[in-house]
Amino acid sequence: MAPPDSAPLPDFEPTPRTKVKRLWQRACYDRETVYGILDAGLMCHVGYVIDGQPYVTPTAYWREEDRVYWHGSSASKMLRNLETGIPCCFTVAILDGLVLARSGFHSSINYRSLMAFGQAEKLEDEAEKLRTLEVFSERLTPGRWDELKPPSQQELKATTVLTMKLDEVVAKVRNGPPADDEEDYDLDVWAGEVPVLTQIGAAVDDPRLKAGIARPGYLAEVSINALDETS
């Protein structure tokens, strides 16, 4: 997980691009909600346009304070274009459950989502790049970085890390039971919620694992807030 935020920041101000008009009551602009969603997720979708063609690329990400980060091959078409500062749309969505109403019209899903607009920046400083990659590794498997083979200079050169400051952001959340039309509550139709949970399974040894290597204790610590059914 990202380290605690060092100082409180004001909530995000709605902009023409982030002001929610449809189901506005689900919109959230407070940093607690936004950061909570970011820290609960693992995969994002990054949207951008190259030569008039829209693209949306799924990738893993991490957060530190008011910035998000993602990485990949230095040869990546996405990363090479985004590092030039073209407009970027960064989204995260977490499915929490099915909402089964008494009518198809009011049936829905429970979810946590966010959308952020901005421009990505490439991390040029090698020490900072290495530090943020360590943060990412420690988010997934706390304690593993120190036992891994350190990245070589060639591996670092072949890896690009992008970051985007969170300035223009909106979250949208739905939770709770169905919201039927008042007259439909007397219908003989079952209604309620079906929770959707993601689980982390037991570790599986690599078939080529060297004999005598025990499973490390940090495997028991592997957790992502998104897997907490109380979220």
* DSSP state letters, 41-76: --EEEEEEEETTEEEEEEEE-EEETTEEEEEEETT-
**pLDDT given for residue 201 in this prediction:** 85
Could you tell me which residues are beta bridge partners of residue 122?
A: 162
Rounded CA separation 34/31 (Å)? 5
> Is residue 44 classed exposed, middle or buried when 0-12, 13-18 and 19+ CB atoms within 10 A define those classes?
buried
pLDDT, the chain, mean: 92
pLDDT-derived band at 8 (thresholds 50, 70, 90) equals confident
Type and span of the H or E element at 77: helix 77-82
Give the pLDDT confidence of 169-186 residue by residue, as tens digits: 999 999 999 999 999 999
pTM score: 0.88
Check residue 219 and give its pLDDT.
Answer: 87
Query: Is 174 in contact with 111 (CB distance < 8 Å)?
Result: yes
What pLDDT does residue 21 have? 87
How far, in Å, CA of 44 to CA of 90, rounded? 7
Provide the strand spans (E) within 103-190. 108-119, 121-122, 159-165, 168-174
Tell how far CA 49 is from the center of its chain: 21
CA distance 40 to 225: 4
Is residue 175 within 8 A of residue 33, CB to CB? The reply is: no
- pLDDT value, residue 229: 40
Tokens standing for residue 212:
């005598």
At residue 3 the predicted structure's pLDDT band, cuts being 50, 70 and 90, is very low
Distance, CA of 90 to CA of 165 (rounded, Å): 11
Domains and CATH numbers, the chain: 24-178+209-227 (2.30.110.10)
In whole angstroms, give the CA distance from residue 224 to residue 1.
8
- Name which residue leads in pLDDT, 221 or 91: 91
pLDDT in tens, 150-164: 999 999 999 999 999
With DSSP H G I counted as helix, E B as strand and the rest as coil, what are the percentages for the chain, rounded to 5? 25, 30, 45
